[in-house]
Structures are given as structure tokens and as C-alpha cells.
Amino acid sequence: EVQLVESGGGLVQPGGSLRLSCTASGFTFYNSWMIWVRQAPGQGLQWVAKINQDGTETYYRRSVEGRFTISRDNAKNSVHLQMNNLGAEDTAVYFCARVSLYPRGYLDYWGQGTPVTLSS
Amino acid sequence: VLTQSPGTLSVSPGDRATLSCRASQSVNSNYLAWYQQKPGQAPRLLIYGASTKMTGIPDRFSGSGSGTDFTLTISRLEPEDLAVYYCQEYGSAQWTFGQGTKVEIK
């Protein structure tokens, strides 16, 4: 059974940092692209960052480029999202998801999400 | 850009629900997925490739369409189908989501 479990969310002050983690099980992790998707309160889904199988390719939405860093540790079946200089617009539930193998691009399994709240 | 309509759909149990997703440009190879998000839960993949059902998805869900116009149909709505439904294209580098259609039970 595929499982994705996120952790690391919480309450943070504007300008602060958080590191989210997602631990995967039930599939061959190093074969899959992984992605972080966020959902602001009452809003829709927005992909944030994605990473290829060995971590050599990373992509970010424009609004987080330079502030967020996605990485992975295939030995520990985990993917991370380092978030720096956080602002109110980053308040959201953050989901990690597995990207389909072929064709690449749909998200076939999702974690339960971890909330990130900006508050002064 | 993906535009979903209607924003909210109110349907009686047993009736058909038809959800639309329109793309501003043709979606390459019909790489279009649909997700269901029930209140307080993570999204769940229903359909990929515009019409292929994910394993375990009930038969009442079906996807159709090509090019710029796609449809998710719930043939006989059940109370458990209360959710927001999102489309997503993955034919471009952007992998954009639609804004969602909320399905309410009448």
C-alpha cells in the first residue's frame, strides 16, 4: 500500500523558516518524481515544487523561487521542502504527492497534508 | 489556464452530475486528470488521460473529452460524492489545476 506521510508544519512568524518532510512507503521511491502541492484556506490546489528521481532536476512556481528548496533522500525514502522568508501568502496546507511514472504528470497518491500558518 | 464550470453544482441523490473543464489551449495528448477532494481530506485521483479510471474508482465516475473541452460525469450521485472536484493538465510543463467545482447534495 502506497503511503505518504508529511510532517513539519506549524505556526511561524513572517520572515521565518520551516522544513517540511514527507516519508514514503509501499513503492519504489527512487523511481518516482515527487511534488509538493499547497492549498490556502478555502482555495484551490497549487503546485509548489517538484523534483526528479535523483534530485538533479527541480522546478518551482514563480512565487516561491529563491525562497523554497525541494530535496530528497532516496536512502530514507523522503522528500523535503525547505521554506525560508515565509509570508502570509504561504499559509496553506502542504501536500506531498507521487507523480505518475508514465506519462509523467498526474498525481496518483497524496499524503494527508501538513498545515503551515503564518502569524505574528 | 483551466476553467471549471459550474462553480457549484447541486444535485439530488441518484441524478447525474456533469462537470466541465475547459482549457485555454489544446491539452497535449489529452493529458487531463480529475481529482476528488472531500471535506477535510487530501485530494484523490479519479481519472487520468481524460478517461482512464484510477484503480478502485466506482463505475459511476467517468471522464470524457479531448482538445480543450473535458467532462467528468457522475452517473448516479451518492451522498458520499459530496466534494470539490479539480481538473489538472499535465500536457505542458505547467501542470496547472482548475479552480474546482463543488458538488452539493440537494
List of chain B residues whose C-beta atoms are within 8 Å of the C-beta of residue A47: 95, 97
Task: Give residue A93's pLDDT.
Answer: 98
CB contact under 8 A, A44 and B98: yes
**Chain A nearest CA to B58, separation (Å):** 16
CB contact under 8 A, A45 and B33: no
pLDDT at A104 over 90: no
For chain B, what is the mean pLDDT? 96
- Indicate the residue of A47, A95, A106 with minimum beta-carbon distance to B48: A106
Read out DSSP for B36-105? EE-TTS--EEEEETTTEEPTT--TTEEEEEETTEEEEEESS--GGG-EEEEEEE-SSSS-PBP--EEEEE
Greatest Cα pair distance in chain B: 39
List of chain A residues whose C-beta atoms are within 8 Å of the C-beta of residue B41: 112
Percent of chain A exceeding pLDDT 70 equals 100
Give the residue from A86, A64, A115 showing the smallest Cα distance to A17: A86
Q: Where residue A75 falls among pLDDT bands split at 50, 70, 90?
A: very high
Task: Give residue B59's pLDDT.
Answer: 96
Which whole number is the average pLDDT over B21-41?
Answer: 96
pLDDT at B93 over 90: no
Chain B nearest-CA residue for A111 = B42
User: Over the stretch B42-89, which tens digit does the pLDDT of each residue have?
Assistant: 999 999 999 999 999 999 999 999 999 999 999 999 999 999 999 999
